[in-house]
């Protein structure tokens, strides 16, 4: 499997061999779906929280005697039957939606997504973004020359300062290469790597 290699002016100067261990895997749609569900579930935060009768403010005194008033029997004002009382089965913020998935399955799902990108010809490699990625105008011209549409930039931590100009480009995303995830790979069309980030990808996802 090969990917085009571009210089900082957006001109193709050759190709890069993509390792079959990462970009030549037979896609497994079941694992991809599970990894996407894992990402969404583990990123979910329990915000909604209803107080039960032991948490709402109010006296615990019985409102009136049990018998002889002609009214329905009532307890204290915290009762769920009264307005302002506690909730019975309301949402609680102790809920945990975390999903687990073993490491080999997560890796295979990610390799499946990378292989799908490589097969579709949407993996592009740039020598470096230094000297061109600091300005939005130059980055827009580079992407136009590369014919990269709706890109996700996978870079190393050291290259973050070289890609500040891409922050203002609509329908694009910048991620550290070790944080590649199914949501970004499925949402964005082109995967744009640098030579350094491609080498780091092989190193990080082979451990």
Question: Which segments in the chain show pLDDT lower than 50?
Answer: none
pLDDT at 1: 84
DSSP assignment of 61-114: S-SS-SSSSSSPP---TTSTTSTT---SS---TT--------HHHHHHHHHHHH
Give the start-to-end residue ranges of the domains of the chain.
2-44+102-204, 45-96
Distance CA 77, CA 13 (A): 77
Shortest CA distance to 137 belongs to which of 174, 105, 165, 117? 165
CA torsion 54-57-62-63 (nearest 10°) is: -140
Residue with tokens 């290699």: 5
On average, the pLDDT of the chain sits at 93
Q: Kindly report the pTM of this predicted structure.
A: 0.83
Write the CATH number of the domain with boundaries 2-44+102-204.
Answer: 3.40.1370.10
pLDDT at 47: 92
pLDDT at 131: 85
């Amino acid at each position: 499997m090969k990917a085009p290699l571009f210089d900082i002016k957006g001109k193709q100067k050759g190709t890069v061999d993509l390792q079959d261990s990462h970009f030549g895997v037979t896609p497994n749609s079941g694992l991809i779906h599970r990894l996407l569900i894992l990402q969404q579930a583990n990123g979910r935060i329990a915000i909604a929280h209803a107080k039960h009768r032991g948490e709402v403010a109010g006296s615990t005194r019985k409102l009136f005697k049990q018998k002889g008033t002609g009214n329905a029997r009532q307890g204290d004002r915290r009762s769920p039957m009264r307005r302002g009382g506690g909730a019975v089965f309301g949402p609680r913020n102790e809920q945990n939606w975390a999903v687990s998935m073993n490491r080999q399955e997560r890796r295979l799902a990610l390799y499946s997504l990378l292989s799908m990108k490589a097969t579709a010809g949407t993996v592009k490699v740039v020598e470096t973004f230094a000297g061109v990625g600091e300005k939005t105008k130059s980055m827009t011209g580079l992407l136009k020359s590369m014919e990269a549409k709706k890109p996700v930039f996978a870079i190393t931590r050291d290259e973050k300062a070289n890609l500040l100009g891409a922050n203002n480009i609509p329908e694009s995303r910048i991620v550290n290469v070790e944080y590649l995830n199914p949501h970004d790979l499925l949402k964005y069309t082109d995967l744009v790597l640098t030579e350094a980030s491609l080498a780091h990808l092989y190193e990080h996802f082979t451990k």
